[in-house]
Structure formats: C-alpha cells, structure tokens
Amino acid sequence: MTNKAKPIKLIALDMDGTLLMDNHDVSKANRQAIALAKEKGVDVVICTGRSLMACQDYADDLELNSYIVTGNGSEIWHTSGQLIERNLLKSELVNMMWELRNEHKTNHWAASVDKVWKNEMPEDILNYEWLKFGFDTTDNDARDVIFDLLSKHPELEVSNSSLTNIEINAVGVNKAVAIKKLCSFLNISMDNVLSMGDSLNDMAMITEAGLGVAMGNAQEIVKESADWITYSNNEDGVAHAIHKFVLNA
C-alpha cells in the first residue's frame, strides 16, 4: 500500500483512541516515532475533538512545533499559542441542542471559547461564543433519534468520537477542512498527509488525506474507509504506521 508515491510531509493525529492509550498516556514507542518523524522534517499535528486546554500539555510534552487542530476543526492554533482561526457554532443552535439534551435526559458537554461545560450550562447561553456541543448516552434509541434529527439540519456538522456520543460543529467544520488549510500554510498538498484516527470525527481527514490510516480499535465504518489499518491505540498503532509509511518509506 502506498499513497501514490507522494512523500509524507504532515502527520495528523487524533488523540483519544489513537495517539493516547486507554490510560491517556502516550506510549514510549509513539513518542520515539514522532520524534524521529520530526527529525526527518515532517510536521506532526494533533488533530482532536478536545479543546486546546485539554491537549496543550501533550503537544508541549511531545515538543511539537507546528499546529494544533482543536474542537474537530473549530479552532486552529500554532503551538506557540497563537490562534490562527476560529469557527463558531451559533448560540441559538447550542440552545436548541441543550433543550434536546434535556428532553432526552442525556449527558452532554459544550465547548465555549474559554470553558468546557460538562452536564451544566450557563443561564445566558445566547451570550456566549460556542465551538462545539456533544451528547453522550448509552440509550441507543435516544442517541439514534438525536443523531438523525441533527444530521438533517443544514447548519450542523454531526459526527462522534465514541460509539456512545454525538459531536456537533458548525456545518463545514471538520478535521479535513482544517488540515487543508494547514497544507496551504505549509505549501504542501493533501497527498502529502498521513492521517490517523478511530471515530466518525476522523472520517473526513482519513478519506481525504493522501494516506488515511484507521486504528485497530477504530469503528468499523472508519476501518472500511481507510487505506490501511494499523494496530490499536494500546499496541503502539501510531508508531507502527509512522515507521511503515514515513521512516522506512
């Protein structure tokens, strides 16, 4: 399996279920592979549904010196701390989803520009700037109803980061769109990108990258869409793919 003989110049890594083991640590093998890729001149970019507050320490610890894509593409940051781009989710839509959450009695989280709200919301939702909203429930029927309803909304981008949740961004906001913008900054093409992930919020970047890799623990639909399947997040899957397609290429 090759990516049309295009050299990899950017590695886009999802965090949970991909870069991180289930204990939320980065394995020694993953650390070493990332360091070697950087030595080779490859940009390594965390591309996550998390907020910057929840991933900055990992980027610092790995000594990444490129960009960070957060909130599924709602924000692009430089590792220096500079905000490059922000794509907001209308507060009226967040209010609608909050009401939907209460109707179906699910757990939820919502990211405003300065805080992540978990199973609580401010009284004045309409006065905040929002990036993302998420539902989480083990009630399959409730989740299916919410997913189907929101997927039909023309202003929403709907995905997930696990089998029990739903993640919502403004329409047109996803990891692939963000990576394309990074490619323009770096003067490379998507053919030069290796993307790795495990969930629906990784699908776009996996299918649109020159080389899309699904984790061994990925959702089946993600595996079916990928160019290649690596080991699981607990088995150094990221390192395995980097060695195969970047270091030994």
Percent of the chain with pLDDT over 90: 97
Catalytic residue (one of 14, 136, 227, 236): 14
Q: What angle do CA 10, 223, 18 make, to 5 degrees?
A: 50
Position 17 scores a pLDDT of 98
Residue 201 lies in a domain: yes
User: Whole-model pTM above 0.85?
Assistant: yes
Query: For residue 216, how many other CB atoms are within 10 A of its CB?
Result: 15
Q: In this model, does residue 5 exceed pLDDT 90?
A: no
Q: What is the pLDDT of residues 171-187, one digit of tens each?
A: 999 999 999 999 999 99
Residue 44 lies in a domain: yes
Residue 182 lies in a domain: yes
Position 249 scores a pLDDT of 63
Per DSSP, helices labelled H in 71-161 are 91-104, 140-151
- What is the rounded CA–CA span in Å between residue 94 and residue 40? 43
DSSP state of 216: T
Q: What is the pLDDT of residues 143-173, one digit of tens each?
A: 999 999 999 999 999 999 999 999 999 999 9
The answer to whether residues 56 and 179 belong to one domain is yes
Domain of 119, CATH number, reads 3.30.1240.10
Q: In this model, does residue 2 exceed pLDDT 70?
A: no
Q: How many domains does the chain have?
A: 2
The answer to whether residues 162 and 189 belong to one domain is no
Residue 238 lies in a domain: yes
Residue 150 lies in a domain: yes
CA dihedral sign of residues 184, 190, 191, 195: positive
Q: Is 14 a catalytic residue?
A: yes
Q: In this model, does residue 112 exceed pLDDT 50?
A: yes
Domain of 185, CATH number, reads 3.40.50.1000
In the structure, what pLDDT confidence band is assigned to residue 3 with cuts at 50, 70 and 90?
very low
Q: Are the C-beta atoms of 35 and 11 separated by less than 8 Å?
A: no
Helix (H) or strand (E) holding 159: strand 156-159
The answer to whether residues 114 and 226 belong to one domain is no
In the structure, what pLDDT confidence band is assigned to residue 6 with cuts at 50, 70 and 90?
confident
